[in-house]
């Protein structure tokens, strides 16, 4: 059996430690990836603010707060993902990631992760309510704590956290449930597009990503999930009492963007998949 070469830190790595930490947290690609965590928060914030007639100054404060929180959560998930995938990341596209190439040690990555989790817990403490704290903590563990296995739930849990925070006395869970399921469908769309970059390597390594699972039918299958996402947008808007502007800008705009994205997608061209993912 072939022995795996252990990760050895590059003592004379040309990049500074600060830049390597930025790359570990994917902050050098800002806002790519972070926006995918933030959008569910922003949607929940907009819909909950409309539902409760929230003052604009509080809306702006929460907008910034959840923007910072989304950045922290995404960074922590990326660090954890790289720790778990340190061997898988040896493939061509990801071989230069800080942990995979040995520029950042597992110990250093764990230290970074612990700091980010502590800050996330401090943000949750701002809610000053045990139930809200528990629901928010679920986003850290098990969802983001098991991020590689529960990505579709983890990336969208911010919608539930924001809704519970801003609409705590609403006994109707139909709207957030429908919208949350819609965002899961949306995650399958963009995550599969992203995974198409590594489809050849995944097949060789025996990894069963959705890009591999869907095979030649990736575009029609993703079209179904995209349609379900747009439908969830429309139904949630109706339940929340939104005007025609919501359907014209938000629902129709999302439908047109996803249609363009999938019609022009070239799943066998990694650079095109990355451009569509961004």
The pLDDT of residue 10 is above 60: no
Q: What is the pLDDT of residue 88?
A: 65
Q: What is the pLDDT of residue 257?
A: 95
Q: What is the pLDDT of residue 230?
A: 97
Separation of alpha carbons 214 and 104, rounded Å: 35
DSSP string, 177-234: HHHHHHHHHHHHHHHHHHHGGGHHHHHHHT---HHHHHGGGHHHHHHHHHHHHHHHHH
Kindly report which listed range (52-56, 169-173, 200-204, 223-227) carries the lowest average pLDDT score: 169-173
Q: What is the pLDDT of residue 202?
A: 75
Separation of alpha carbons 129 and 149, rounded Å: 29
Residue corresponding to tokens 């907009």: 46
**pLDDT band, residue 4 (cuts 50/70/90):** very low
Mean pLDDT, range 192-199, rounded to an integer: 87
The pLDDT of residue 182 is above 70: yes
The pLDDT of residue 241 is above 80: yes
Q: What is the pLDDT of residue 28?
A: 84
Give the sign of the dihedral formed by CA 140, CA 141, CA 144, CA 150.
negative
**pLDDT band, residue 2 (cuts 50/70/90):** very low
Give the residue, 212 or 173, on which the prediction is more confident.
212
Tokens of 49: 């603010």
Helical (H) or strand (E) element with 61: helix 56-84
Q: What is the pLDDT of residue 16?
A: 82
Separation of alpha carbons 18 and 3, rounded Å: 32
Q: What is the pLDDT of residue 89?
A: 62
**pLDDT band, residue 5 (cuts 50/70/90):** very low
Q: What is the pLDDT of residue 261?
A: 93
> Secondary structure of the chain: what % helix, strand, coil (to 5)?
75, 0, 25
Q: What is the pLDDT of residue 170?
A: 66
pTM, two decimals, is 0.80
Q: What is the pLDDT of residue 156?
A: 86
Query: Under DSSP, is residue 7 helix (H, G, I), strand (E, B) or coil?
Result: coil
Q: What is the pLDDT of residue 146?
A: 57
């Amino acid at each position: 059996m072939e022995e795996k070469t252990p990760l050895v830190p590059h003592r004379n790595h040309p990049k500074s430690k600060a830049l390597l930490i930025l790359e570990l947290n994917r902050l050098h690609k800002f806002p790519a990836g972070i926006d995918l965590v933030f959008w569910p928060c922003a949607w929940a914030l907009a819909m909950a603010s409309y539902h409760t007639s929230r003052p604009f100054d509080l809306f702006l404060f929460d907008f910034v707060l959840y923007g910072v929180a989304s950045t922290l959560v995404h960074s922590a998930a990326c660090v954890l993902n790289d720790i778990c995938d340190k061997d898988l990341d040896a493939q061509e596209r990801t071989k230069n990631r800080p942990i995979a190439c040995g520029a950042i040690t597992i110990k250093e990555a764990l230290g970074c992760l612990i700091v980010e989790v502590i800050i996330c817990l401090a943000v949750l403490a701002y809610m000053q309510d045990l139930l809200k704290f528990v629901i928010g903590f679920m986003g850290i563990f098990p969802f983001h704590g098991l991020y590689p296995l529960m990505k579709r739930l983890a990336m969208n849990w911010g919608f539930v956290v924001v809704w519970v925070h801003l609409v705590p006395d609403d006994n109707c869970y139909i709207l957030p449930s429908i919208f949350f399921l819609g965002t899961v469908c949306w995650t399958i769309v963009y995550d599969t597009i992203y995974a198409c970059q590594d489809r050849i390597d995944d097949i060789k390594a025996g990894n069963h990503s959705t890009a591999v699972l869907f095979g030649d039918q990736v575009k029609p299958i993703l079209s179904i999930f995209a349609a379900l996402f747009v439908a969830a947008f429309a139904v949630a808007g109706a339940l929340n009492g939104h005007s025609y502007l919501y359907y014209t800008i938000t629902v129709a705009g999302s439908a047109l963007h996803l249609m363009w994205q999938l019609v022009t997608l070239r799943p066998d061209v990694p650079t095109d998949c990355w451009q569509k993912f961004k």
